[in-house]
Structures are given as C-alpha cells and as structure tokens.
Copies of this chain bind each other. A is one copy, B any other.
C-alpha cells in the first residue's frame, strides 16, 4: 500500500467545507455524426465503469491509522468499489447553453469528495446545444496532481477520429498503452509528481541541505517583504477583494481565445504569449475591480509560471519557475500597463538567478501551493505574495477525439482558498487557449463578467499596438454563439467573445 506524502496529507489537512482541495476540468465534445446521444453516452459510461484493474489511485481509498492524518496514512484498494458512484450521468436544463453548463459545473465543483471512497468523480453531461456534450472530472489534489490528470485525459483521447476505446481510460491497460506510446514517440513532460517527489526528498533533509536552506531563507525573506536586495519591489501586495475569506459556493466561467491572436499581441510589445496573457488578465481585473469592488492604489500581484530557459539554451530543459508578477492594475493606459508587467516578469526571473534547478523547482512548488497548505506543512503561515494565481498548463496542440467525439475545448477548475478567492488557469488546446476561472461566489460577485472584460482588454491592447484588423482576428467559430457584449469600458470597437459565459 502506497503511503501518502506530506504534501498529499497537507491537502487533506487543509481541506474543510469552505475550501475543498480538489481540482477539476470540464471538456467539451461534439458527438460523431449520425450517432444517437443517449446511446453514445451510455456506452461511454459503460466503458469507463467496466474495468477490473484501475490505474492507482482510482481504485484506492484513504486508510488512516489511529492518529488520523497526523499519523500513518496510506492508499488501500476500496473493498466495495462502486463505479456507478464515481462515473455519473448528468444533464443540463433547457436551453442547454454554456451558461447552464457553467452553473452545473460551479455547483459540482463546490461539493466535497467522499473521503471513504477513491477521491474522484467523473460526470458525463448531456443537454448541450449543437450536438455537444461535456465531461466534468474532479480529483482530489492529494490523490492526483494537475500534471497526472493531464496525462490521464490524454490517455483516453486520440488524434484519430476513428479510434475506439476498448478498455476504460481509467484501467491499467489503457495507462500502459499510453505510456508505451509516449516513450516510443513523443517526449513526455516532467510531471508535477516528479517535482513533488524532489521536494519531499529535499524537505526530509531540510536541515542538512545548505543550498536548500539558503534558497528557502531567501525565499521567505522576499516573501515577507524583508531582506535587503532580496526584497523585490513588486512584492508589495495590496489588499483587495480577491483576498477575502471564502465560503463554500463557487462560480466557474470559461472561454477560449485563438492562441495566434494572443501570441501576435505579445510579439507586438516585444514580449511573449505569456506577457500578453498577463496583459489581458490585468486589464480585465482592473475593469472588474472598478465596476464591482475597489481598485487598489498599487498593482495587483499575480503568481505566474515563467520559463527560465534562455534563447538557444536547450540544456536547462523545461525549467519553469513561479514568480510574482506586478499586474500594474493601477495604470490606466493599456500599453504602459503591459510594459510595466513585462518589466516585473524580468525582475521575477532575476530572483531565481544563482539557484540550482532543484531549488527553482522547490521554491516554485511552494509558491504555487495554496496558502492553506503552509500551516499543516509547518511552514510560514503568511499569505503568499500575490493576489491571484494565473496558471498556464501545457496542453495538446492537435485536435483530439474521444471515441470519435471531437474535443472542442478543455477548461481547468482549480482551488480557491481563504485569502485567494480567485484562480485563473489556462490550457492550450488545438489552435486555442482555453481559460477557466473559478472564484468564491460570495466574495467575488458577478465574476462571470471577467470573460467580457478579458476580451475588452485584449482589444484595447490590440488597438494600442496599432492593429487595425483586431475586430476580425478573434472572430468566433461558426459553431459557437457569439456573446452579446454588455458594455465597452474602453469605448472602442472590439471583437466578440466566442462563448456566452454568464452563469
């Protein structure tokens, strides 16, 4: 029986009814032509449920000793595994727009997983318009981390529309077949679990590792806003409504934008795709705070992952570091704002100079952990030095199919905690970037508006960059309904968002 790591236990210890510690995703699919929805979904559910040997930890439940989570915690096979319980069939009320989907997914994401069973659920959701259906999955962060769940999603998808799954995608067979294909062909990314193992190992030798100690000490100082030249100016984190206490109700919204559109914008400002994403989010958050709350005098700080790899450098691999970027939300001019953001990203990268890759990994992992984790882990209970997390999950660039059903988008749902009431996660898929925003429903009312505000911010940046074709660039695909824009903050011509997103 596999023991739980300290980090895994941390997620369980930190969890309560207001702060579930599961992550999720909702994927949109289009039914293959000519098939009957009911039959297709029933067959799909049957295939997923029908497995003898499940990939760990999908068949495993928690086994705690007398000391509970403070003692020895292991995974043990659930003696009465009930696949009907885990794989569920749901439906949307009419008219079955994305609005109804987001409402349902918001509710599903707000309820706790059952601790006496394997810590996951999968919901096949029917009732969408235009022959689409959706799949919402929910896995506890203690059981499956983000990277592994991406792998699991991938293992059940195929770029071949004629490929039909024989085994459950949760079965060991499917997993082995996927791993073989991965080893034979494409290069696998290092998983988050690998990072976590490193960190666990490092933590267990905490006092004996001088390098680690140095990294952590510097990190903690910068975190706390002390420490001489280690104190980065962008680490002054303003108070905001984004950093309220949360209750248990969530609001989820999602939207896709063309990757090329955002990438082109980043280049126009001499920056990256990631810089343009931050520019979009910064503009949207500024508008949201002005309209629905109060805009702080200082710029909001965002935790973002950045690549530390220099141009032409292939040795350092996919070194990704978490930094706190200044979203410069106090700056009204969009071009000036994005340049300030880019400068702060550069400063954030400089913070990691002189650290070994392992140290970078550890510090980044700590920075990305929900703040609620720190106390159970015995680390500083201070809030992390940012107002909001904007995470970028590498996705799949090909169009994928699940038993012939085309995947149209895949939107992540992360965790919100006290002091961190919103999470923005984006996944690249096909030619799009799929954004998923999850927020506390009470402290961040009408957060669904952010989707419109992001489109507006994108347009403002495009106009400021001198693009004249901005209005055509982001046009909706014909199969998606164009959203009616509620109001134009910047009062200029903008493109339309691709999905109707008010939930």
Interface residues of A (CB under 8 A from B): 17-18, 37-38, 41, 80, 82, 85, 88-95, 100, 103-104, 107, 110-112, 114-117, 124, 126-127, 247-249, 441-442, 445
Contacts and interface: CB of A to CB of B under 8 A. Distances in A.
Contact of A17 (B88, B110, B112, B127): B112
15 contacts: A18-B116, A80-B445, A82-B441, A85-B441, A88-B103, A88-B107, A89-B103, A90-B91, A110-B114, A112-B112, A114-B249, A115-B247, A116-B248, A116-B442, A117-B442
A85 B117 contact: no
Nearest to A246: B116
Contacts of A93: 38, 41, 89-91, 124, 126-127
Contacts of A103: 88-89
Given A80-B442, A93-B89, A247 B114 contact: yes
Contacts of A112: 17, 111-112, 248
B88 A91 contact: no
A-B pairs, top 10 by smallest CB distance, nearest first, are A116-B247, A91-B91, A91-B93, A111-B111, A89-B93, A114-B248, A38-B94, A93-B126, A114-B249, A91-B92
Contacts of A441: 82, 85
Nearest to A37: B94
Contacts of A41: 93
Contacts of A111: 111-112
Contacts of A445: 80
Contacts of A249: 82, 85, 114, 117
Contacts of A442: 80, 82, 116-117
Contacts of A91: 90-94, 127
Nearest to A61: B247
A100 B89 CA distance: 9
Contacts of A95: 38
Given A17-B114, A38-B94, A89-B100, 6 more contacts: A17-B115, A37-B94, A89-B93, A91-B93, A93-B126, A116-B442
A442 B117 CA distance: 10
Contacts of A38: 93-95
Contacts of A94: 37-38, 91, 126
A351 to B, nearest CB: 37
A127 to B, nearest CB: 6
Contacts of A115: 17-18, 247-248
A115 B104 CA distance: 20
Contacts of A127: 91, 93, 127
A219 to B, nearest CB: 34
Contacts of A248: 112, 114-116
A111 B249 CA distance: 12
A134 to B, nearest CB: 12
A126 to B, nearest CB: 5
A84 to B, nearest CB: 9
A114 B85 CA distance: 23
A114 B17 CA distance: 8
A338 to B, nearest CB: 34
A17 B113 CA distance: 9
Nearest to A41: B93
Contacts of A117: 247, 249, 442
A204 B458 CA distance: 65
Which of A100, A103, A107, A110 is the most central at the interface, judged by chain B CB atoms within 10 Å of its CB? A107
A130 B249 CA distance: 34
A80 B444 CA distance: 12
A400 to B, nearest CB: 24
Nearest to A126: B93
Nearest to A90: B93
A66 to B, nearest CB: 16
A502 to B, nearest CB: 11
A152 B179 CA distance: 57
A332 to B, nearest CB: 29
Contacts of A89: 93, 100, 103
Nearest to A111: B111
A126 B92 CA distance: 9
Contacts of A17: 17, 112, 114-115
A85 B442 CA distance: 10
Nearest to A116: B247
